[in-house]
Amino acid sequence: MKKTVLKVITVIAALCMLVSVSACAGERVAVYINENEVNGIKVTETLTFNAKGDIIYQITENMKLNFSDFGEDEITSLKDVFKTSITDVYAGIEGVTCTDDLTDGVYTINAVIPAEKETLDILSEKGLMEFTGSSSRLSLAVTEKSLKESGYVKSEQ
């Protein structure tokens, strides 16, 4: 009888540990927003991080550049500058999906980025995103701390 009770308790304890570990490695999503103005352009950047546990596996960057205070010719020129310097650069990186749209004076860039070391190295080299540390993986906790220090605000979903 004692052996049976001990086996049941051991199995229950093992299941509790398994559930506990799998909860830590569960799917997490964190969204951060930064709004500022640069040279009369209102910029809203939203970064969405998909992670398993603490390891980020995908980053989605959505950038809205509000050109509505500019004239039509200036809007076209600004769009071309940002398309060349951001959209086209993202689109040229293998594995990254990038789209853009200009509607009512707001230029939107949306990039979906796999958080793989090779891709992150290229993003860093091209000046699109900055990464610190020597790890081949991105930590959600470390990234969140860095974003908060840089003025990003966590969005509650």
Q: Where residue 152 falls among pLDDT bands split at 50, 70, 90?
A: very high
Instruction: Please report where in the chains the tokens 């080299």 appear, as a residue.
Output: 125
- Within 13 Å of residue 32, how many CA atoms lie on the same side as its CB? 19
What average pLDDT does range 17-43 have in this prediction?
A: 78
Q: Could you report the per-residue pLDDT of 54-92, keeping only the tens digit for each?
A: 999 999 999 999 999 999 999 999 999 999 999 999 999
Q: Where residue 30 falls among pLDDT bands split at 50, 70, 90?
A: very high
18-47 in b/e form (b: 16+ CB < 10 A) is eeeeeeeeeeeebbbeeeeeeeebeeebbb
Q: Could you report the per-residue pLDDT of 93-131, keeping only the tens digit for each?
A: 999 999 999 999 999 999 999 999 899 889 888 888 887
- Within 13 Å of residue 146, how many CA atoms lie on the same side as its CB? 12
Instruction: Please report where in the chains the tokens 């470390």 appear, as a residue.
Output: 142
Domains of the chain: 26-155 (3.30.1830.10)
